Each structure stands twice: as C-alpha cells, then as structure tokens.
Amino acid sequence: MNTTISLIIPAHNEGKFLNHCLEAANLAASRIESTVEVIVILNRCTDDTEEIALRHGCRIVREDAKNLSMIRNAGVAVARGEVVVTCDADSLMHPDSFQEILRRLGTGNVVGGGAMVLPERWSLGIVASGLSILPYLAFTGVTFGLFWFFREDFEAIGGFDTRYVSVEDVDFAQRLKSHGRKSGRSWGTLWWTPLVTSCRKFDQFGDWYLLKNPSFVRKVFRGDDRKAADFFWYDIR
C-alpha cells in the first residue's frame, strides 16, 4: 500500500521529549516507500518545541485550546495524507509501526486501530495503577496510544469529540470501531510493534497515584471534568 501518511503530534512544551519522538518517527518512515508528513500542533508552547519541530522539517499548526480533541482535529484538518496516524510527543514509535499500519489497512478488513503501549520503566506502583484503570477500559474492546485510520473514516465520524476534555481518545476509538463494523471492518491492534511512552505522569504524581485516588480516576473517565483535566494534563508542567 503506497500512500501519503500524515503523522499528527500534539505538543505543549515538549522540548524534553519531541526530538526523540521525531527521531523514532523518522526511523519508521525510512522503512517504507510512502511519503510521511509530520504535523506538530503547538499548544501554548513557551519552550523550544517549535524550533525542534522546524529543525526536523515538520509542518506547524497552532491551537491554544485546552482541549486535546480540538488540538488533534486541528492537525488532521491540514493533513495531506490519506492515512492519518496520531502519536503523543512523549512516546516512541516502533521502527516497523508505519510498515505494519500500511499492511493492516491495505487488507481492507481493518478500519484502523491502536497499539500495545509499554511504559519506559516499570515498577510495582505503575503496574498497580495500570490495573486500577483496567475496569474502565476492558469493556471498550479497543486499544489506544497510537491511533491510525483513513482520513475519510475520521471525517465520517466527525473526528475527535470536542465536548470531551479527557478520554477523548477512548470515545474516538469506540466510534471508529462502530463505524468500521458497518462495512465489515474490524478494530486492529499493533501488538508486535508497540509504542513506548514516557512515565512523566508517574514521575510527577507518583507511581501509585491512580490507585490511591480512585475518585480522581472516575472524574477523568467521565470526560467532562475541566478541573481534573487541567490538573492532570493542560496546566501541569
């Protein structure tokens, strides 16, 4: 499958992580024949995020809303690719991620999907915190981390829902899966090309934070709690 891929990366003061994220993406891009454009959405950046993105030849979009749905949608809005991939700036793609995405989408049997997500480090607290949110995710039947899909399917479901200030990715994945089912296409997961993500939230709040604060987890998974979202994502650095 030879097509243009648009990689969408939201970035709020990601100077510490973005360079490694882009290096991993460039390595994955070097293993396919398709063109890969990288779009970095700058969100209220006051560090060197923009300079790093430009140094890597990325396209720049600005969206200052404290809403990841709006941020991601702004990137897809200018994307030139038929295939769209989203990745957080503090995560590292597998070298074969693009290759596997194109293979899976090329079968015509998959509407899109997510990836196995591995933390950059392990601890008992991280494992326990992961298990504490498992009940919220188990019933969805989808995976997260690195989303990949055809742009036309993204547009068909209206993109990310801007009413959500958290768990917008869970909502998007469920709607994309439901949309694919109508045409006999299933949800896909990149099990063997996992995404490695930073543990900065655990570094900031503690490895046991999610387990020790179940009420906070409930607020996050409601999706509409602005105070919780600002506290954990938008205002923290």
Query: For 49-93, what is each residue's pLDDT tens digit?
Result: 999 999 999 999 999 999 999 999 999 999 999 999 999 999 999
Name the residue ranges covered by the structural domains of the chain: 5-122+142-199
- Kindly tell me if the per-residue pLDDT of 237 is higher than 70: no
Task: State the DSSP string of the chain.
Answer: ----EEEEEEESS-TTTHHHHHHHHHHHHTTSSS-EEEEEEE-S--SSHHHHHHHTT-EEEE---S-HHHHHHHHHHT---SEEEE--TTEE--TTHHHHHHHHHHTSSEEEEEEEEEESS--HHHHHHHHHHHHHHHTT---EEEEEEEHHHHHHTTSS-TT-SS-HHHHHHHHHHHHHHTTT-EEEEEEEEEEEE--HHHHHH-TTHHHH-HHHHHHHHHS--HHHHIIIIIS--
Query: For 199-223, what is each residue's pLDDT tens digit?
Result: 999 999 999 999 999 999 999 999 9
Average pLDDT over residues 172-178: 97
Q: pLDDT over 90 for what percent of the chain?
A: 93
CA distance linking residue 141 with residue 174, whole number of Å: 8
Count of other CB atoms within 10 angstroms of residue 124: 9
Average pLDDT over residues 172-182: 97
User: Which of 25-34, 107-116, 175-184, 227-236 bottoms out in mean pLDDT, i.e. has the lowest?
Assistant: 227-236
Q: pLDDT over 70 for what percent of the chain?
A: 100
- Kindly tell me if the per-residue pLDDT of 236 is higher than 80: no
Q: How much is the pTM?
A: 0.96
Cβ distance 63 to 70 under 8 Å? yes
Q: Residue 136: its pLDDT value, please?
A: 85
The CATH number of domain 5-122+142-199, selected from 3.40.50.1980, 3.30.70.20, 3.90.550.10, 3.30.1180.20: 3.90.550.10
Where residue 139 falls among pLDDT bands split at 50, 70, 90?
A: confident
